[in-house]
Structure 1
Amino acid sequence: MTRYDAVVVGGGHNGLTAAAYLARAGLSVLVLERLDHVGGAAVSAQAFPDFPTRLSRYSYLVSLLPQQVVTDLGLDLRLVSRSTASYSPVVRDGRATGLLVEREEGEATRRSFRELTGSDDEYVAWRAFYDGVAGLAGAVAPTLTRPLATDAEVRAAVDPQIWHDVVERPLGEAIERRFRDDLVRGVVGTDALIGTFASLRDPSLVQNRCFLYHLIGNGTGEWRVPVGGMGSVTDALARAARDAGAEIVTGAGVSAILPGGPGEGAEVRWHDGTRERSVQARYVLANVAPWVLRILLGEGEDPATKPEGAQLKVNLLLSRLPRLRSGIDPAVAFAGTLHLAESASDLEVSWAAATRGELPDPLPGEVYCHSLTDPSILGDVPAGTHTLTYFGLHTPARLFDADPEAIRAEALRRAIASLDAVLEEPIESVVMRTPAGEPCIEAKIPQDVEADLAMPGGHIFHGDLDWPWAPARARLDTPAERWGVQTSYDAVLLCGSGARRGGAVSGLGGHNAAQAVLESRG
């Protein structure tokens, strides 16, 4: 075919979501993906060739994917709850201890708060805050798969104090006012900083928006493990798109999008490895970062507006889980999110160091063991084997520019040091090794994310997140504007993480772009 109703540029999970919706509605759809596989960041990979274990190499948990999308597309996908929400080891008065938060909070959580802080006051404050946040999540989540609500509409459905704390003022102010304990403050604050380089007191409120996205998924904010790894999400979406009739072409690096006049659609040009090709489309759905889209539209690169990622991702394969100094069962501590050097003061000191151009020390980060929840990803490996994923904060791309390999090695050393600080034994003593003796450790810096996934600056959200509603006086005249996917051209829509309600593995960018197209066609 030389003309399609819709061409989707980029075969990540959002692009596949859009393709599936449009094809199911009877439109002719072509998906063009530059890599030899679809999925973007939502992939499972055999990171260590000598072992069959398939790790979620980049993105690793699912929260924001609406159940509506799963149901609409008939996705064969199983998401499993983790038994632990978080564990935060710390040394208090010379004693190794920690803060345990169960996924369904009970007496063990209350007791942990009491033992850490000396009273029930912090847990009472914790429950009051998160009950309020749950109300905000309950108000926002249903709007994500509808035309944009206005800020006034959302505000009217939310407790005024929570709206003030989360939407109007820097989140750090509310955290400091509501909580006294430094570790408790940090545990609350980390959700505002994953994938976002900012102080908790940043007046731009970029950290507040990141916090909101981490807490609103399906109205509960729970982050779940996809059985089979993140690749299972991609596989389900690709199957839904193909079954509906969408064509998916890999190895197709798009070089240009050329919009025509009003009502004329656009031309898409790509290279198939042998020759240049082109196709006409009534609509082009861009599942690329807005910064990249401007280049494809011929507007050139603008270094001043290029996003910047700020994370260190480390994947490890272990012969067994290590013991912790606090004495907690490793199967409990590692089942959820293990916080390392993430007290509120640690986070602010690390942010300040990175702002000065210094690699933080200690390096704040979070650790996850997905194989405790989903052992199917391990494959045929010796008993006791587990995966481990470390996600480091406050490591902006600029820190690696001078010497990426040397600074990567130093960042990895500091990440391991942060983990070793809470362990009874060095993590490297339980790291699996290849037949050649090489440790099964893989470290990815923002530059790798950009090179592998074409996310500018390695920014995992394609840029700073927006509030998931329309601001006052926003234009909502066209379907694309009402769904938050508009660009400067009627025929070109955003359908990725850079859409107003994009970010994380949600399918929202794809769902909403598809709805805008369908609304435009009447």
Structure 2
Amino acid sequence: MDFYDVVIVGGGHNGLVAATYLAQSGLSTLVLEQQPHTGGAAVSERVFPGVDARLSRYSYLVSLLPDKVVADLGLSLDLRSRAVASYTPVRRSGRDVGLMVERPEGAATRASFAELTGGDAEYAAWTDFYGAVSSLAAAVAPTLLEPLQSASDLRSHVDGALWEEVVERPLGETIERRFADDTVRGVVATDAVIGTFAGLHDTSLIQNRCFLYHLIGNGTGEWRVPVGGMGAVTDALAAAARRAGARLVTNASVTSVQVDGVRGSVTWLGGDGERSVDCTWVLSNVAPSTLAALRGQTGVEKPEGSQLKINLLLRHLPALKSGDDPRRAFAGTFHIDEDYTQLESAYQSAASGVLPPTPPSEVYCHSLTDPSILSLQLVASGHHTLTVFGVHFPARLFASDNDSARALATQRVLAGLESYLAEPLEDCIARDADGNLCIEAKTPYDIEDSVGMPGGHIFHGDLQWPWATDAGDAGRWGTETDVANLLICGAGARRGGAVSGLGGHNAAMTILTR
């Protein structure tokens, strides 16, 4: 039987990060991936038959991937900034206007706030709040690649009142106290609920944790566009892992993980039948509930994802009722029906088991920043991609009839987008080689079926605070399990979620610093 120092279960981006660090350090490393390719949910694919457009099918932007990891692994990546942070179309007193937030913010942002709210007070509140949050991000970000700090140590480096607002009290309280305008409140609040099913006053504070993770990447919280699509990120990681000497095996469906604290054994099914390998360390890049099943454990609850992902290819960007330039409006995150009250209403509907009648969602256009994902012919003819992320669509809403619920949810989300357009959306959508509209929708169940995320949960479970919440965890890496030689290297690690590489880096460091 073969023997490796480390076997990594799952070839998503975190597994590849861990494999590269470990192989660079001279450890024999095997990565097992059940799909025909590595990358997990961070892939680029030609979704529509006969159409040369490579869409970031599941994950689509990069924020939390530290520049240090990119440099350490020698990755050749082009992560581009968006000129616009966000645009929110608003209908007020019979007028269609838009709240534009530039990156970096300037006079146009101030003027946009003033036009929407009738003065400068909301923009002043905005700059005050995000200025304070940036100090928290600057304190937290450098610790993400280090052993866990205690909450008290981190708190000593930031304003105590801000810590209480963001870490100790429901975020809804802070938003309602600091901001008066419903739309501005919603723009702030949306970062707290993307991929997380929670109300803004939830006492568990999972909405606060989600908000924090959206704002701490590299100390700035900027979400960047990967040139070539998300697949370019994981292709670069796979190439780095192979250069370092790691062995990557695809079409390998792991069926069993056994560990005793000293040695481990992993069994999988592949094209040549069942195989097993012994090792010193096992790293899990699958969700904790999946790992539990591989270990033969029972009674572990599967997480519940909460989103609807829609991919579109357009013949041209649609005109807006506000009259704003669609090339500017869609260049950042385009908010649809995400006023604060709309977010809360949609949550209450979904919590009661009903599809939100006016579902909040966010849209972004990858091809405005990176046209390389389209063929030269599509670029020349004005085509563009749109990614739509529907908020507050927990898996429970699709449980009885996934196909019917998907169709209805997609219809409602796209109707919400169309309500702000000056032309019919269908007239803008391209058709594939079979004459069908280029629309693809994925519910949590579809995501589970496609990439193996239990419950379709994009974070593998609720996000955790990126510091030690128990005194005994300080100084650890947040990747440890109940068995000494079994580590979590994926999104389910303490500092996990999104395309970050944090779990992979920290699991590798758990081994290399012993």
TM range (shorter): over 0.9
Matching residue within 485, 494, 497 for 1:500: 494
- Residue 426 of structure 1 aligns with an amino acid whose one-letter code is P
Distance 2:99 2:472 in 1: 43
Deviation string 1:369-417 (CA, Å, 9 cap, x unpaired) is 0000000001133320000010000000000011100110000100111
Distance 1:503 1:238 in 2: 20
How many residue pairs get matched? 512
The 5 Å alignment of 1:5-404 reads 5-260=5-260, 262-263=261-262, 265-302=263-300, 305-382=301-378, 383-404=381-402
SS of alignment partner, residue 506 of structure 1: coil
Q: Verify the 8 A CA contact 1:319 1:384 in the aligned structure 2.
A: yes
SS of alignment partner, residue 96 of structure 1: strand
The 5 Å alignment of 1:430-469 reads 430-469=428-467
Please say which of residues 374-383 and 305-314 is displaced more in the overlay. 374-383
Q: Verify the 8 A CA contact 1:322 1:430 in the aligned structure 2.
A: yes
CA RMSD of the aligned region, Å? 0.9
Distance 2:386 2:415 in 1: 15
Given the two structures, how large is their TM-score scaled by the length of structure 2?
A: 0.99
> Displacement of 1:472 after TM fit?
3.9
**Identity of paired residues, percent?**
61
- Residue 36 of structure 2 aligns with an amino acid whose one-letter code is D
Q: Verify the 8 A CA contact 1:51 1:381 in the aligned structure 2.
A: no
What is residue 486 of structure 1 aligned with on the other side? Answer: 480
Distance 2:150 2:64 in 1: 20
The answer to whether structure 1 residue 516 and structure 2 residue 510 are counterparts is yes
Distance 1:178 1:410 in 2: 36
- Residue 222 of structure 1 aligns with an amino acid whose one-letter code is E
- Residue 509 of structure 1 aligns with an amino acid whose one-letter code is G
Distance 1:274 1:418 in 2: 50
Distance 2:327 2:149 in 1: 42
In structure 1, runs of 5+ residues without a counterpart are: none
> Displacement of 1:314 after TM fit?
0.3
Deviation string 1:64-113 (CA, Å, 9 cap, x unpaired) is 00000000000001100011000000101110011100010000000000
Distance 2:240 2:271 in 1: 27
> Displacement of 1:185 after TM fit?
0.2
Deviation string 1:134-160 (CA, Å, 9 cap, x unpaired) is 000000000000111110111001111
Q: Verify the 8 A CA contact 2:51 2:433 in the aligned structure 1.
A: no
SS of alignment partner, residue 69 of structure 1: helix
Matching residue within 406, 409, 422 for 2:407: 409
Distance 1:301 1:241 in 2: 35
SS of alignment partner, residue 381 of structure 1: helix
> Displacement of 1:195 after TM fit?
0.3
- Residue 233 of structure 2 aligns with an amino acid whose one-letter code is V
SS of alignment partner, residue 471 of structure 2: coil
SS of alignment partner, residue 185 of structure 1: helix
Matching residue within 408, 417, 420 for 1:419: 417
> Displacement of 1:301 after TM fit?
4.8
Q: Verify the 8 A CA contact 2:49 2:434 in the aligned structure 1.
A: no
